[in-house]
Amino acid sequence: MANNLLHITSELFNSINFKELDERWLDEVICNEFTDVQENNMSMGTLFPGDYTTAVLDLSRVCEAWIPKASDSGNVSTGPEKVLWPYLKKLDVSVRQIQGLIYFLCSKALKTTSSNDVKEIGLLSAKWYFTCLRVPGSRAYAVSNSSLFQLCIDCLQIPDIDSQDAAFKWQDFETLLPIVISTMESLLPLLIVYDFGSDLTVIKHVIHKLYELAGSEFSNTPIDFKLNFLNIPEKEQIRQRAILSHAILSIMLHLLNQDVAVFIKWLLELVDDTDMNNRIFTLEMLGIILGNNLPQIGKEGLPENLQMYLSPVPIIFSILTRCDDTSPSVRSKALCVLSQHMKHILDVLMELRNPSNFRDEEFDDEEMDNNDINGQHRSFWYNFSSFKDTIEEINNILQRRIEDNNSATRKASLQALENIICFDVTYLTKENLKLMLAYSDPNIVVRKQTIQSLTSVLETYPCHPKALKYWIKGIFPLVYDSENTVQVKALNVIEEKLLWNVLSASKNVRDAAFSLLEKLYTGKLLSHQRYLQKAFNHWHIEQKLSPEMVSILERTFGSDKDEIIWFYLYNFGKVCKLPSNLCEKVVKELPKLKNWDCHKLIENMLNIFGNIFSDFHPEKLETVQGILKQKLESAFVPAEIVPIIIELLYKTEKHLGRNDDFARVADKMMKDSIEILTPFISCEKPEELISEDLAVKSLAVINGFCQIYPTYITQNLIVLLKAFAGQNKTKLPLHLCAHACATLGVICLQDEALGRELLPFFAEELTTSQKTILRNNAVINIIHMCKRYTAYADTYLPLITICFKDTQYIIRYQTITSVVSLLQEDFIKCDKTLLYPLLFTITDKDDTIHELGKYSLCNLIYEKNKNIFFENFINSIFVFNNFPPHDNGNIADIVKKNKQYSLRGEEGKEKRMQVYTFMLSNIDPTFCGTLIDEMLGVLSSIAECVYPLNEVTESIVRDCLGILSSQEIRAIDTENVVYEVEESEEEPIVSTELEIRKLTLVEPVIPVMISLKNRVFGNRKRSTLFHDIIIFLKDILADFRDDVEKFLAGDKMLKMQVLYEFKKEKVEEEATIRRKKEMQKKVTKPTAPITTMSDVERSLQLSVYLMERYKRRGTGTPAKNDSKRLKLAANKNDSNLPSTSGWKPSNPEGRILSSTPQSTTKLNLPNISKMSLATEEDDLDSD
C-alpha cells in the first residue's frame, strides 16, 4: 500500500510542470509574503498537461492519503519515504513551488473578471492547500503561511444578494456549490487540529468568513465545526474579547426570537458566575447587546416568561449589579459599560418609571435572599419603586466607586457620573460636581479623566454657574500638576475655552468664555487667577499669543463685557506686549465717570496703559496726565486707585523728562494730606473735621508718594500715622485706622529700622484687636516685612500661621494665599513649624482655603520631601490631640509648639480623621508595615501604663483604631497586589490580598487589643473603650469569620463578644430580608410556567467555548479551581467592599461538558439539539 502511494505521488507530481514557474517571480512572491505581487500571465495549459481541474483535485486527494487516519497505530516515521515533503524534494519538487502554484491559481480566481472555470480551479487549489496543512511535517517544512491561508479562505466567496445582477451571479454560483462544500469539508477538520499561534489577523479573518458562510442562503445544512482553533494565548484572548463578542452578536442576529431570548437569559445567569473572566466577558456581551438595541426585537408568540429577556431592563440591572462586584476588574468593566450606555440606560429607566410594575422575571428563594445589597443579584434593583430612587442608588454606587482603590474603576465612575449630569440639569448638583473634583487623585489617568468629564459638563451647560465654578476648581489647579502630560491636557483645555473662545465669531461661544472669566474676576475664585497667569506664561512660551488676537478682542468693546475684557487684556499684557493703539482706548474711557465707580476696571486700564505708553504721542500723553491729576486732586477718586495713579504719573513725567514738575506736585499733595489728617488727632470737634473719605484718600496719597520719595518719611509723619493706628482707635473711625495701619506697613518697607520698631506693634494689633479689618492689615504688613527682611521670617511665622484659625474668612484667605506665595518664592522654609498649621487648613469649612492648604502641602512641601507625611504621621496624632508624651522629648516639644492647632475631643474627631486620611493618601505604600507598627507601639504604651488612661489618651486610641480600620490603610497594605484583567482566576487575588492583610494588620493587632482590653478593665475610672475595641475587632475580622476563634483564643471575653456581634448582625440582616420579602409579595405578579426552549447547535458551541476558554495550555483538561470563595462583609457604603456575588460554587463548564446531574445546578443551558437559523424561507433539507 505504501509503495503504491509513493508510485502515485511520484507519477502525479512529475506530471505537473513545476519548472515552468519563473524563479524570479517565485522569489518575489515569497519575499512579499504572497501579497502585492505583479500578475503572472503564464497559461495554465503550460503547467498541466491535461485537464487542470482533474489534476488539482488529484493533487488534493494524494495529499489527503498522506494524512494519518484515526485507525493508524504506532509511531509516525520521519524518514523520507514516510513523510511527504522530503519525498517531494527527492522528486525535485520544492515547497516554494507548491506554494507559488497555489498562489498563482487562487489569485487568478479572485479577480472580478474571472470565469467560472477559473473560480473552480481556485477553489480546488484552496482545498489542496487546506489538505497540505494537515499533512504531517507541514509546519516543520514551512508549508504554512498566514497570508496564503487568508487568500485561500477568500476563495470561498458568496454572491451579494443585494447586487443588481444577483440573479446571474447566483445562477453561476449554483454550478460551483458542490466544490465550495468540498473545500469546506477540507477546511473544517483543519480548524480543529491546526494551531495558528497568536496571529490574531488570521483568526479574525476566519471568524468573519465563517459567519458569512453560516448566514448565507446556501447554508441549508448545519456546518459542524469547533472553535478549538481559538486556543491563542490567554492575554490575547482578553485583548480580543470585543472581537469575539461582535462575532457572537453577528450569529445572534440570525437566530429566531425565542432562541435570542433563551441566549440572553443564559447570559444573565453567566454574569453571576464565580469565574471573574466569565463575568467580564458577559458584561462585554451585554454592553454590545444593549448598544445594538438587540432586545428591542418582536416579542409576538413568545412565552410570557421569556418576553422579559427581550427588554433591556434585566440587562441594565445585571450591569448595575456588577458595579459592586468583588473583583476590581469586573467592577471596572461594569462601570465602563454603564458609562458607555448611560444615556440609553437612563432613557429606559425614565420610561420604565416603576420597575415593580414590570416584574416579569421569576427568581427562586435563594436568589431572592441575595437582594438586600447591590452586587449580589439583579433582583436587588426590583426593590425600588420610582425612577428617582433608582437614580439615587446609581449615584450611591458612583460615590462608592469614585473612592475605589482601583484606578480604572474610579476613571469609569467619573465617566458614568459625567453622563448622568449631562443627561438632565436636575443632576447638575453641588454634590455630584464635588465628586468630580479628582484633581488630587494619585493616578494620572483619573486626573486626565477629570479634565475630560468636567469639560463635557461645561460644554453641556456652558453658562450654568455651577458648571463654570466647578470647571475652574477642578481643572485650573492641574496646570501645576507634577505630571507633564496632565499639565499639557489641562492647559490645552483652558486654551480652547478661554484663549480661543474669547475670540470666537459666535456670540454664544464668546459669552460662555466671558462667563468663565467673570467667575475668575469676582467672587471666591480670585485665588485661581494665579493658575490663569501660569496658562498665559505657557502660551507665551509656546508662541500662541499675538497682537492680532488683541485686535480681534478690541472689536467686542462696547458691550456689557468691557470690564472682563480689560481684565483679560491685563493678564495678556503681563507676558506679551500689547499694541500701543490700546492707549487711544484708555484715553477715550478715562473721562467717563461711570468707569470710576469700579476701581478694578480703572486699575486694569491704568496698569495696561503704564506698560504701553512709551510709544504714545507726547501731546496725547499730556492729556492723560491732565485727567489723572484732576482725578487725584478731586475728592471722589477711590483710595485704592490713588497709589496706581501716582506711580503712573511718575512714570509718564519721567518719560517726558519733567521730574521737577512731578516733585512739585508731590510736595504740594503731601503737605495738603498732612494738613487734612492733623485735625483728626488734635481732638477737634467733629463738626470741624473734614470728611472721612478725604482723609482716607490723603492716607493713600502719603502711601503712594512715600514709595517713590522715601525722604518724605519723617519722624513727624511716623508719629502722625502711629497716632491714627494706635492711640485714638476708640475715637477715630475704624476704616481710617485700618488705612493708617496699611500706610505704616508700606513705609516700613522703605526703612528697616522703622520696620524693626513697628513689627511688635503690628504683632500686638494682630493678637489683641477685635476688629477684622485691623487684624487683616496687620497680618499683611507682617508678611510683607518678612518677605522684605527675611531675617524676621522665622520669628514671626508662628504668629502669621495662627491666623489660619481666625474666625473671619478674609483673614484666613489672605494669610493662606500669602504663605503660599512665600513658599513658592522660597522666602520661608518647608519645615515642621509650617507643616501642622497647613494640615490644619485642610479642615477649614471653606473650600477655597481647604484647596489652597492642599495645594501648598502637595505641590510645595511634599514635592521637596516625599516622606514628610510618613515621618510626621505619628507626631500628628499627638499634636492634634494636644498630648505631649513624657517619654519622648522631641514629640513633646512639637506638641507644645503647635498646641494652638489642637483638634482634641469628640467634636474634633471628624476633622482629625480628615487630616489622617489626607496624609495616608500621600504616603508611599512601602511604609505601610512601619506605620502600622508605630501605631501599635502607641497603643501598647497606653496598654502597658506608659501613658495614663484618660479622655485624651482614649481619644488617641480611637484615632488609632479608626486609622487601622480605614479603607486608606487597607488600600496601602494591599497596593502591591495586582488587580489586572489578565489574571486567570479571581480567588488567588482575593486570597493574596487577605493574606497580606492578615500578616500586616490582623495578627499584629490582636495581642495589643487583648492587652488594651485588660488595661481598660484594670482602670479604676470607667471607660467606654471596650465597646470601641469590640467594634474594631469585628471590622478587621469581617473577612476572617471562620478564624475568629483561632485569632482570639487567648481571650475568651473578646472572642465571645466579637462572635455575638457577628450573630447580631446576621439576625438583623435576616429580619431586614424578611420585611422586604413581605413587601415584595404584595407587588409580585404571577408568571407563566417555564417551558423548555430550543436553540442552535452553533450557539451552544460558542457557549462551550466561553466555558472552555481557560483550559490548561497544552492540554485538553479544564483548569481546576480549588480555592474557596470568600464571604466578605456586606457594607453598602463601603467604597472598596466587593459584593458577595457568585458565592455559590457553580461550575458552568462542568455542567456543559459533564452528563452527571449536579444538585447545585442553577445555570439553565439552552437545548442545542434543534437550533435553526432564522431565514425568510424554510430550510431546503427540513422535513
Q: What pLDDT score does 1129 carry?
A: 33
Q: Convert the pLDDT of each residue in 1008-1052 to its tens digit.
A: 998 988 888 877 677 788 888 888 888 888 778 778 888 888 888
Q: How confident is the model at residue 635 (pLDDT cuts 50, 70, 90)?
A: low
Residue 978 has what DSSP assignment?
A: -
Statement: residue 415 has pLDDT above 80: yes
The grid coordinates listed for 1004 are 499584629
How large is the average pLDDT for residues 167-194?
77
Q: Note the pLDDT of residue 491.
A: 92
Question: What average pLDDT score do residues 424-451 get?
Answer: 82
* Per-residue pLDDT band at 158 (split at 50, 70, 90): confident
Contacts of range 216-222, beta carbons closer than 8 Å, 24 or more positions apart: 216/158, 217/161, 217/1175, 218/158, 218/173, 218/177, 218/180, 219/1173, 220/1179, 220/1180, 220/1181, 221/1181, 222/1097, 222/1098
Residue 1033's nearest CA partner among 1052, 991, 1005 is: 1005
Distances 101 to 19, 23, 25, 94, 149 between C-alpha atoms, Å: 11, 12, 11, 11, 14
DSSP 1097-1138: HHHHHHHHHHHHTTBPTTSSSBPP--PPPP-----TT-TT--
N- to C-terminal Cα separation, the chain: 43
Q: Distance between CA 1071 and CA 363 in Å, rounded?
A: 20
Lowest-confidence range among 125-139, 728-742, 1142-1156?
1142-1156
pLDDT of residue 461: 92
Residues linked to residue 1094 through DSSP beta bridges, in sequence order: 1167
Confidence of residue 1121 (pLDDT cuts 50, 70, 90): very low
Q: Which residue has the cell 456670540?
A: 507
Distance CA 587, CA 591 (A): 7
pTM of the prediction? 0.60
The reported pLDDT for the residue numbered 196 is: 65
The residue assigned the cell 451579494 is 160
Cβ partners under 8 Å of residue 1163, min gap 6:
266, 269, 270, 273, 1146, 1148, 1151
Beta bridge partners of 1160: none
Can you give 1054-1075 as a three-state secondary structure string? HHHHHHHHHHHHHHHHHHHHHH
Q: Would you say residue 356 has pLDDT above 80? A: no
Instruction: State residue 215's pLDDT score.
Output: 54
Question: Which of 123-132, 162-171, 317-326 shows the highest mean pLDDT?
Answer: 123-132
Q: What is the pLDDT of residue 358?
A: 54
**Phi/psi of residue 255, nearest 5 degrees:** -90, 160
Contacts for 671 with CB less than 8 Å, ≥ 6 apart: none
> Which three three-digit cell numbers place residue 1107?
466555558
Minimum mean pLDDT among 193-202, 396-405, 636-645: which range? Answer: 193-202
Dig out the grid coordinates for 142 from the structure: 514551512
* Half-sphere CA count of 1037, side-chain side, radius 13 A: 26
Residue 460: which pLDDT band, with cuts at 50, 70 and 90?
very high
pLDDT (0 to 100) of residue 876: 92
CA distance 1137 to 325: 8
Cα separation, 137 vs 144, whole angstroms: 10
The pLDDT value recorded for residue 955 is: 92
Count the Cβ atoms, other than its own, within 10 Å of residue 744: 27
Does residue 440 surpass a pLDDT of 90? Answer: no
In this prediction, residues 508-527 reach a mean pLDDT of: 85
Please give the pLDDT value at position 1053: 87
Window from 214-218, 473-477, 494-498 with minimum mean pLDDT: 214-218
Report pLDDT digits (tens) over 480-492.
887 888 899 999 9
For 557, list phi and psi in degrees, rounded to 5: -60, 150
Give 458's pLDDT tier (boundaries 50, 70, 90).
very high
- Is a pLDDT exceeding 50 seen at residue 1122? no
- What is the secondary structure of 817-881 as a DSSP string? HHHHHHHHTTSS--SHHHHHHHHHHTT-SSHHHHHHHHHIIIIIITTT-TTHHHHTHHHHHHHHT
Q: What is the pLDDT of residue 23?
A: 86
Q: What is the mean pLDDT of residues 483-507?
A: 89
- Higher confidence at residue 71 or residue 512? 512
Mean pLDDT confidence for 467-484: 87
Mean pLDDT of 394-420: 85
In this predicted structure, the answer to whether residue 1131 has a pLDDT above a threshold of 60 is: no
pLDDT surpassing 60 at residue 1104:
no
Q: Is the pLDDT of residue 1086 over 50?
A: no
pLDDT of residue 882: 92
pLDDT of residue 680: 74
Please tell me which residue, 406 or 217, carries the higher pLDDT value. Answer: 406
249, exposed or middle or buried, with CB in 10 Å at 0-12, 13-18, 19+?
middle
- Taking residue 717's Cβ as centre, other Cβ atoms within 10 Å add up to 19
pLDDT digits (tens, 9 = 90+) for 767-797: 888 888 888 888 888 888 888 887 877 788 8
Q: Which of 293, 289, 313, 264 is nearest to 1099 (CA)?
A: 264
Pick the most confident of 39-43, 81-85, 352-356, 639-643: 639-643
User: pLDDT tens digits for 817-856?
Assistant: 888 888 877 777 766 678 899 999 999 888 778 888 887 8
Give residue-wise pLDDT tens across range 862-897: 878 888 888 999 999 999 999 999 888 889 999 998
Over range 569-595, report the average pLDDT.
83
Q: List the one residue out of 240, 177, 234, 156 whose CA is nearest residue 203.
A: 240
Q: Which residue has the higher pLDDT, 565 or 81?
A: 565
Where is mean pLDDT largest: 209-223, 865-879, 1069-1083? Answer: 865-879
Confidence of residue 367 (pLDDT cuts 50, 70, 90): low
The answer to whether residue 494 scores a pLDDT higher than 90 is yes
For residues 373 and 1166, what is the distance between their CA atoms, to the nearest angstrom? Answer: 30
φ and ψ of 898, to 5 deg: -115, 25
Cα–Cα distance for residue pair 783/369, rounded to 1 Å = 65
Phi, psi of 578 (to 5 degrees): -85, 155
Q: Taking residues 165-189, report their average pLDDT.
A: 74
**What confidence score (pLDDT) does residue 1020 get?**
66
Which position has the grid cell 467560472? 116
* Average per-residue pLDDT for the chain: 77
